Amino acid sequence: MLNEEICNLRDKLNKSIEEGEDYESILKLSVELDKLIEKFYIKEESSIK
């Protein structure tokens, strides 16, 4: 589920960049994506332990 959210947001970010959206919109999406990736790694790390 988290994987799917990351993929969807990544696609949205890439589309925003390709379409030349404003810097603030791209930055917001990028920060959201970073947060999801962080959650993913935390979840993966905790499942290994």
In tens, the pLDDT along 9-47 reads 999 999 999 999 999 999 999 999 999 999 999 999 998
Q: Nearest to residue 32, comparing CAs of 9, 16, 4? A: 9
Query: Crossing angle, helix 2-18 and helix 23-48, to 10 degrees?
Result: 160
Give, in order, the Cα–Cα distances in Å from 13 to each of 9, 30, 46, 47, 48. Answer: 6, 7, 28, 28, 30
Report pLDDT for 10. 98
> Does the pLDDT of residue 49 top 80, yes or no?
no
Report pLDDT for 48. 86
Stated pTM of the model: 0.88
